[in-house]
Chain A
Amino acid sequence: MLRLVHSTPTPRPAWGEVSDRELLLAVREGEEEALAELIARKTKPLLQATQRILGDLEEARDVVQVTFFKVWENRRKFDERWSPNTWIYRIASNLAIDHLRSRKSRERSHEPVRQHLRQVADGSARHDLARLQDGEVAAIFRELAAGLSEKQRMVFLLREIEGLSSPEVSQIVGCRESTVRNHLFNARKVLRRELRRRYPEYAGPFAAQEVEA
């Protein structure tokens, strides 16, 4: 029978002071406190990002919770050569895509958004994109993004809104950079076309320049 007779406690790192990579390496070794620190660091940015993807805070909360659960479950698969953010975002993105797919058939009607914006526009002398409130921009995006595929929506948000590089986006979404560029090109095209079709008052001089799809 093996019996432990003496042990010198290993000094515990102050998790708040270590890098994301070190934190994930500790998680890989099964350090639960490292997981807690990772959750403390990444919950807010992940919630904001997934909320933009899903357009729904409650669903974003579910996705973030399951993301960290999967980080823990798959911790031994983490390769220290990978960027911690890219790995975590990849897990979250895949979950968000699953949510979007399961939601498609029950997509809500966005007519009230349109009516509200019509009223705003009618009361305004100029139909000017710059005058729209941020919340209205978010509502328009939710409506128009329903016409994008899940990958197109994901690539557009990660590249154009979160400001990630093409290589990072290709790792997160799990496709080649050329495919990322294709998704981005098509997403912009759909958004421009739908903006012009549904909100011509905001499409401005661009409307005349757009080539028909």
Chain B
Amino acid sequence: MNAAACPDWTALAAHRRDRDGAEPAAWGEALAHLDGCPACRRAAPAADPTLLFRRLARVEAPLDERAEVEAVLQGVTALRAARRVAARSGHGRSWARWAAAAVLAFLALSMDNEGLPRALRSAGGAPSLTAAAAPAAIGAMGRLPLLDGIEGPDARSNARIYHFEGEDLSVVMIVDESLDV
């Protein structure tokens, strides 16, 4: 980049400082130039330190996009199920529906990007519970007590079933978008 073409960052910064939030003329061009000019990357934040924070756009959290999308899909499904349960319980139905709604909402908001509840991870980050894939586990579910009004999963199910064993405690959690509540 030709240094002669570099904008006057001191003048631009003064404009940004003095005017009421309005951008200087040709501000877009100046920013486009800034991104490609090493000299301006030094001069611009020296003139206006808030330009330093443009670098935040480059700071990206390391994400496994596929896992994040999957977690969001599961969470939204669970929240929708919870909403349906809560809506029905508004018509004088069993208290168990409220409990189911609360459990589903909790699961939705507490699942990490691997679909595991964050609260049930051990300190080292490894799951402290067992997760079973649906087909094998669904048979066992038939023996488990389900909440009143909740039908078991069908053949389309891709349910995940978590079994947490503790002292005097055994918790089974079912995450399944095909559950009809």
Binding site for B on A (CB under 8 A): 35-36, 39-40, 43-44, 47-48, 51-52, 57-58, 60-62, 64-66, 68-69, 72-73, 128-130, 132, 134-135, 137-138, 140-141, 156-157, 160-163, 180-185, 188-189, 191-192, 195-196, 202-206, 209-211
Residue B179, interface by CB 8 Å: no
Complex contact B55–A137 (CB within 8 A): yes
| CB neighbours of B163 from chain A (8 A) | none
What residues on B are CB-neighbors of A185 within 8 Å?
19-21
Q: Which residue of B lies closest to A51 (CB)?
A: B61
Chain B residues near A129: list those with CB within 8 A. 42, 45-46, 49, 52
Distance in Å: Cβ of B106 to nearest Cβ of chain A: 12
Which residues of chain A are within 8 angstroms of B112 by Cβ–Cβ distance? Answer: 61
| Prevailing SS type, chain A contact patch | helix
CB under 8 Å from chain A, chain B span 102-154: 108-109, 112-113, 118
A210 to B49, alpha carbons, bound, how many Å? 11
Is the Cβ of A43 less than 8 Å from the Cβ of B113? no
Count of residues in B whose CB is under 8 Å from the partner chain: 43
How many Å lie between the Cα of A65 and that of B72 in the bound state? Answer: 5
**Cβ–Cβ contact B79 & A66, under 8 A:** yes
Listed in ascending order, the chain B residues whose CB lies under 8 Å from chain A are 13-14, 16-17, 19-22, 41-42, 45-50, 52-61, 63, 65, 68-69, 71-73, 75-76, 79-80, 83, 108-109, 112-113, 118
Residues in A neighbouring B75, C-beta threshold 8 A: 65, 69
Residue of B whose beta carbon sits closest to that of A185: B21
Interface centre among A140, A185, A189 (most CB of B within 10 A): A185
